[in-house]
Amino acid sequence: MGEVSIETIPVSSMSDKTLNGFIRKNALALKASEAKLIVKLLGRDPTLTELHIFNIEWSEHCSYKSSRKILKKYLPTEGPTVILGPKEDAGIIELCKRGKDRYGIVISHESHNHPSQVVPYEGAATGIGGNVRDVLCMGARVIASADPLRFGNPFGRKKNYVKYVANAVVDGIAGYGNPLGVPVIAGDVYFSESFDENCLVNVVNTGLVKESEIIHSKAPKNSEGYDIIIVGKATDNSGFGGAAFASLVLDEEEEEFNKGAVQVPDPFLKNILIRATEDVFRVAREQSIELGFKDMGAGGIMCSSSELCESGGFGADINLDKVHVSMENLPPYIIACGETQERFTWISPPQFTPTILKIYNKDFELPNVAEGAKASVIGKVTKNKDYILRFKGDVVCNAPIEVVTKGISYDRKVKQLKRKIREPKLREPKDYNKTTLQILSHPNVASKAQLYKHYDREVQGLAVIRSGEADAGVQAPIPGDKVGYALTVDSNPNYCRIDPYLGGVAAVAEAMRNVAAVGAIPYGMTDCLNFGNPEKPEQFNEFVESVKGVSDAAKNLFLKGTKKPVPFVSGNVSFYNESVSGKAVDPSAIIACVGNLKDYTKAITMQLKEKDSLLFLLGPRKDELGGSVYYLINKQLGANVPKIDYRLERDMIYSVIDLIDKKLLLSCHDISDGGFITAISEMVLGGEADGKIGAEIGISNMGNSRADKLLFSESSGFLFEINKKNINKIKPVLKKYQLKENKDYFIVGKTTNDDKLIINNENKKMINLKIADLRKAWTTGFIEAMK
C-alpha cells in the first residue's frame, strides 16, 4: 500500500475504549471496528486526514452502507424511457426525440433534513443549492424545483420551534431559489408530531439536456494527465463533517457544534457560477472537448475528485496547497473534506484548461463576485489507481482510489414492529357541514397558496400549470415545441405509520395519478427514503417494507402500453431521522414522478370550467379511512390504509390520460388526502380559490357504505368534469379499460350556476355550503399553522 510522510494515528495498537475516545475527540462518526478495518485495507495505520476521508466515505450519506443491497435488490432502474439511471449526479428521463437527438429531463432528488432542523434557513437553502448543482453537472439547464416538506405539530407542545423551523425553511427555499431563477412547480407539506424533532426537507430539481450533450460525472477515456480543476467559493471550514452529520442521530446538547456542519449559501455567486458554467458547456461543445464534471457536495474536494477519477478508471494526485482558501491555517483534512458551498470539480485536457480558467476568472470575474472565489488547477489525473493528497510537502493521504470510494456494507437485522392499531368506532357526524369545513381547514389539506406565492413560479417563462393549480406542475421546456412534462411529489406519512409497505405502494400510485390528472404519461420516478435508525431492527424493517411497497407498485403499474415497470432514475436515503430520546419520524418514502406530454396545450387543471357539466367519480369508495384526515380531526389513526388494486389503478390512470389526450375532460383531480369531499371542494375553489361554479352531488349510487365513509375515505380514484355532449365518447374509452359503470365509475352530479356545494343522499341534503365558506376554511388552515 502507498506510504505517507507524516505521523500516522496508532489505531492498530489502541484499545476500543481509547480509540472511541479519540474518535469522539476528533469529531469522527466512525465505529472502532470501522477504524480498525481502515488499517487492514491500507496495510498500515492511517493519517488523521485518511481517517476523516473514510469517516465521510463510509457514512450512510455517501456509502449507503445499510441501504445499498436493499435498493439494488428491489428497485427497477431500467426501461425504454431511461437515458441515464441512478449512477451519476442525476438521472435522465426521455422527453422527446427531435431529429437524430433525444431531449431528456434531468432529475435529482435529495434530502437536507438534519441541517434544516438545526439551522433551518441555511439548511433548506443549501439543500436547494446542492441539488441544483447535481442537475447542472449533467450538462443541463436547470428549469424547476419541487419541495416536499414535513414539519412537526404546529399546535402541539413544541409548536413554537416547529413554526420557527417551518417558516425559516420556506424562507430559505425562496431566498435561494428565487435569486437563482429556478421556479418551484410542485411540492407538498404535511404536519405531524412525528416530525417535532426532525423535520424533513426533501428537494427535487429538474433540467433539460440533449442526449448528445450530456456531461458525465467521470474522467473521460484516455484522460491520464488531465487537469483537476476546482471552481467557486474559496474553501473554508463551513460544512465540515456534513456528510457524517447527516448520518447521525440529532442531539440537542450538540446543537451548537452541529451548526458548524451546515454549509453557508450564496445564491448570487451561484447565479454567476451557473452562467459561467453554461458558457463552458457552450465552448466545449463547439470544440468537441470531452470533460468530466461533478458537483462538490458531501465530502468536498475529496469526494468529487476521487469519484470522478475512480469512475473513469484512474487515480488522482492533488496538491492541497493549490486550493484557494479563505482562512489561514486550515488543516489538510478540512481543505480536502470541507463542504463549502458553491463549488464544482472539472476534469479537463490541459489544452482546454486555460479556456476554463479564463471563462470563470476573467469573463465572469469570479474574484470580483465573491472574495477568494475563482477557478484553480489543483492536481492531475493519474494512470496508477492511487488517491494521493499532498500538503506542505508531505503526503497526507495515499490509498488505492477504489478503497477510498468503494464504501462498506452492512447486513442489518429486521424485526416486525408490533403496532397497536385498530379501526375506531366513530358515530356518524351530526353536522356534515361542520365536518367538511374541519377537513378543508386541516393544515395537511388546506391551500398552500401562501407557500407557493412565496416562491417565484413564473421565472424562465416555461410554466403551463403552476404549483397549486393542479395535481402536478407542468412546463414547456423547449421554446417553440409543444412537448411538455409534468412533475409531482407524494407520500402520506400517516399511511406509512400504520403500514410502511402499503404506504410505499400508495405513494407511487398517487404520484402516477397526479401526473395523469393533468394528462401526462408517467415516464419515470425518483425516491427520497426518510427513516429512523437503521441499527434498530424495527426501524430498519420499516425501511425494507417501504422499499418493497415502492418496488411492487412500480413493477405492477407499468409504463403505459407495456408490462415494464416505471423506472427509478435517481434517489436518496436519509437515515437517523431520530432524536436522542429514540423517537423516529414516521416512515416516509417520498416519491417524485415525471410525466410526459406530447402536447402541453392539452394539459388540464382541477378547477371546474363550465356550468351544467357532468361530474364522474372514477374509483369506488371503500372502507379505507386509516390515516385519513377524517380520522385525524377525530384524534384517531385507524388501521384500514387504502389498498391499491393494481389492475384497477392502471386502468384508471391510463383511461384518464387517454380521455385528456382526446380533449374529453374539462377538469380532473385525483382523490387522496381528505377523500371525495376534498376533491370536489378543491375543484369548486380552484388553485387560486377564485372559483365561482358550484356543484350538486348525489352519493346514493356510490355504494352502500355509511355516508361518512363514502365522502371521507381516501381510496384512490379520480373526479373529473365533462361536457354533457361528450358522454357517449367517454364511456367507450372507459369500457376499453374494462371499467364498468356503477362499479368502477359513477356519474355523481353536475356543476351549477349557484355559488354552493350541495351533497345529497337520496332526498336528504347532507351538505349545503356556500363557496365563500369553503374558501374561508380552505385558505386559512395553513396560514394558522404557520402563524
Catalytic residue set: 61, 112
Q: Name the nearest CA neighbour of 379 among 415, 399, 353.
A: 353
What residues contact 721, with CB distance under 8 A and at least 6 apart? 608, 609, 610, 613, 614, 615, 616, 665, 666, 667, 668, 683, 751
What residues contact 72, with CB distance under 8 A and at least 6 apart? none
Burial class (CB in 10 A: 0-12, 13-18, 19+), 24: exposed
Contact 586, 526 (CB under 8 A): no
- Cα separation, 181 vs 176, whole angstroms: 9
H or E segment to which residue 480 belongs: none
Residue whose entry in the numeric block shows the C-alpha cell 385507524? 638
- Cα separation, 759 vs 461, whole angstroms: 40
* Cβ neighbours of 582 (radius 10 Å): 11
Q: What are phi and psi of 3, to 5 degrees?
A: -95, 155
DSSP per position, 725-787: GGHHHHHHHHHHTT--BTTTEEEEEEEESSSEEEEEETTEEEEEEEHHHHHHHHHHHHHHHH-
- Cα separation, 190 vs 123, whole angstroms: 19
**Three-class HEC string of 552-618:** HHHHHHCCCCCCCCCCEEEEEEECCCEECCCCECCCEEEEEEEEEECCHHHCCCCCCCCCCCEEEEE
3-state secondary structure at position 146: strand
| Cα 128 → chain centroid | 10
| Residue 135 to residues 172, 293, 512, 565, Cα–Cα distance (Å) | 20, 11, 23, 24
3-state secondary structure at position 518: coil
- Cα separation, 235 vs 372, whole angstroms: 9
Q: Name the nearest CA neighbour of 505 among 558, 564, 553, 545.
A: 553
Residue 498 falls in which region: left (phi positive, over 0), alpha (psi -120 to 50) or beta = alpha
3-state secondary structure at position 490: strand
Burial class (CB in 10 A: 0-12, 13-18, 19+), 688: middle
Question: Which residues face 204 on adjacent strands?
Answer: 109, 146
- Cα separation, 70 vs 88, whole angstroms: 19
| Residue 461 to residues 203, 204, 479, 606, 783, Cα–Cα distance (Å) | 21, 19, 9, 22, 28
Strands 568-574, 521-530: pairing is parallel
| Residue 86 to residues 78, 97, 569, 572, 684, Cα–Cα distance (Å) | 9, 22, 5, 10, 40
DSSP state of 44: S
H or E segment to which residue 151 belongs: strand 141-151
- Helix-then-strand count for the chain, H and E: 27, 26
- H-type helices in 3-137, by residue range? 16-25, 32-42, 48-57, 60-63, 68-74, 113-118, 120-136
- Cα separation, 586 vs 476, whole angstroms: 36
Q: Name the nearest CA neighbour of 622 among 464, 744, 477, 520.
A: 744
